[in-house]
Structures are given as structure tokens and as C-alpha cells.
Structure 1
Amino acid sequence: MMQLNVATYQTAAAITPSDTAVQSYRAIYVGGTGDLTVRTAGGNVVTFKAVPVGAVLPIEVWQVHSINTTATDLVGLA
């Protein structure tokens, strides 16, 4: 039998991308398609290309960068 990995979160907040502000989230909901550039909790900067509407990316991040981020209506989940 296949098991689904279902995460739950206690808080949610709208994200304003910033190249300097620390923003700690366990996952990100993407409301408007586009690219998403983040600094992971491990310190890597990565760009997720063409993230579709409604995607929830289960990545722990410390920053959501404004440079190279074109996705909109982002919500941080923690």
C-alpha cells in the first residue's frame, strides 16, 4: 500500500520577497505561476523554474529573494 506524506502547518503568512530579510518557512504555496528564488535552510540559493499555480513546495527556506522571483501570491507555511 502506498503512503502519502502529508505535512501540516500551524501558521501561514503572505510573503513579500526580499533579498535581505530573513523569512523562515517550512513550505511555500505559489498562487501565481513563475520562477521562485530562495535561500534554503542549508544555505543554498536555488531558483525553481516555472512553478505552477497551486504548487506547495515542501522546502525549508530562510529567504525568498526578490531578484529572479516572478511567481506571485506567495504564502509561507510554518
Structure 2
Amino acid sequence: MLDRYKNRAENLESPAGHGFAITPHDTNALPEATRAVFVGSDGDLRVEFISGATVTLAGIQGGTLLPIRVAKVLATETSAGQIVGLV
């Protein structure tokens, strides 16, 4: 497969090159910090940012891409579904 950009350094402005499904959990950290989070179905999303701050993002609509760097998606208060971490 041709990848015209394989010799360029990735940065936070680059498009994501990998993704993984996120199952919210109150203690387990994600396998790696995200550069964005995709929310597939409506609901609230409680996250712990890489800074350690924890917030609830209320009323996220399904199909929303959030440009946030998180270490955890917490099960408590998260009602959104089909969550994907993008890196």
C-alpha cells in the first residue's frame, strides 16, 4: 500500500493513524492517550484527561468527534456508547 506520508513525523494536527474500541472503566487506563475520541451513540461521557482532571461532557450526540486527549473513560456517569479512541 502506498503511504505518501510515511516519512513525515506525526503530530497532534495530523490525522489519526490508529484507533481502538473503548470500554468505560473506573480504574483501568486506556492502552494509550488519545488524540481524539469518537462517540457513536448519544449520551454523557465522563473522562479523565491526561492532565488528571476529570469532567463529565454532557449530552454528546452520536457521531461526534471530540479532539480531546484522555487517559480514561470512566464507567460512572458515562451513558454514551460505541466509543473509539483515535491516536
TM-score, normalized by length of structure 2? Answer: 0.80
Identity across matched positions, percent = 38
TM-score, normalized by length of structure 1? Answer: 0.88
Q: How many residues align?
A: 73
Q: Structure 2 unaligned segments of length 5 or more: list them.
A: 1-12
**Residue correspondence of structure 1 range 39-58 to structure 2 within 5 A:** 39-58=48-67
Root mean square deviation of aligned Cα: 1.1
Select the residue among 8, 17, 20 that pairs with 1:13: 20
Higher relative contact order (CA 8 A, sep 6+): 1
Q: Structure 1 unaligned segments of length 5 or more: list them.
A: 1-5
Computing the radius of gyration from Cα coordinates, the structure with the larger value is 2
Structure 1 match to 2:81: 72
Distance in 1 (alpha carbons) for counterparts of 2:73 and 2:56: 10
Detail structure 1 runs of 4+ shifted over 4 Å in the superposition.
Answer: none
Deviation at 1:27, TM superposition (A): 0.8
Distance in 1 (alpha carbons) for counterparts of 2:44 and 2:19: 21
